[in-house]
Amino acid sequence: MQKASETLIGSWQQWLTAEEQQRAARFRFAQHRRVYILTRALEKTVLSHCTGMPHEQLAVQRDRWGKPRLAPCHGKLYFNISHTDDWVVIAVAQAGEIGVDVECSRRRVDIAGVARAFFHPDEYQALQQLDESRRSEYFFSLWTLKEAWIKAIGKGLAQSLRTAKFDLTTATRIMVSGEHTEHWQFRLLRLDASHVLALCMPLAVQHMELRYIIPPSDQSPLELPLLRWS
């Protein structure tokens, strides 16, 4: 994201609707405006490719929980988006709802305070038992998995993060239990040295393809280290 030129940002901005352009203009900081523009451009690029329709004809709606989804006239195609200041990620599936989250694992967070407030008691206890040097990575692994899960089920803040318990005590597996967890599978990947990516997908998904995309048409296969899976 940081390498995107203002010329490229300007070309992406032309794709935005009048309402989206007005929203982009209201961002106080230029970096936040750039991320918003790229997010909309990536969304339009990927959904246009998947549906075979020009991006101008795509209708994206939001349900009562605020989750974006394609209008029924486009068929059954599910997607979810996440971003940091450096990365924008979109996940798409035909098998059912999907959730994705990307986090910068080096940002400063009150790890103990957030975990105490939002994690299952067993997750918090497992975190506290770790050496100080391992807590940050463990925390962000749990956080991205929980965020991807809650975005997949689509209930937003109405669903407590504590109702799903993730066990990461084994080397590579993700063990999950709790409310609304039985129909999902999870992947945790390393995006780069500073970012971790989590996916929550229906059990019916059997194949996952990763691509690096620069709107409108530049794309290439992307291979990421798989850290954990369920």
Interatomic CA distance for residues 47 and 34, integer angstroms? 20
Beta-strand ranges (E) seen in 25-136 are 60-62, 68-70, 78-83, 88-93, 99-104
Q: Where are the domains of the chain?
A: 61-229
Highest-confidence range of 9-23, 55-69, 155-169, by mean pLDDT?
A: 9-23
> Taking a C-beta distance cutoff of 8 angstroms, is the pair 24, 35 a contact?
no
pLDDT at position 218 over 80:
yes
Radius of gyration, alpha carbons of the chain: 18
| pTM of the entire predicted model | 0.93
Where is average pLDDT lowest: 41-55, 124-138, 157-171, 185-199? 157-171
3-state secondary structure (DSSP) of residue 210: coil
Q: Is the pLDDT of residue 2 over 50?
A: no
What pLDDT sits at residue 3? Answer: 53
Measured distance CA(37)–CA(16) in Å, rounded: 8
Q: Which burial class, exposed, middle or buried, applies to 110 when counting CB atoms under 10 A from its CB (0-12, 13-18, 19+)?
A: exposed
> For residue range 38-96, what is the model confidence (pLDDT) as tens digits?
999 999 999 999 999 999 898 888 888 888 888 888 888 999 999 998 899 999 999 99
What average pLDDT does this structure show over 89-117?
A: 95
Q: What is the pLDDT of residues 138-152, one digit of tens each?
A: 999 999 999 999 999
pLDDT at 1 over 70: no
Instruction: Give the pLDDT band of residue 166 (cuts 50, 70, 90).
Output: very high
Enumerate residues 6+ apart whose C-beta is below 8 A from 121.
Answer: 162
**What is the CATH superfamily name and number for domain 61-229?**
4'-phosphopantetheinyl transferase domain (3.90.470.20)
Q: Which pair of structure tokens corresponds to residue 183? A: 């129909």
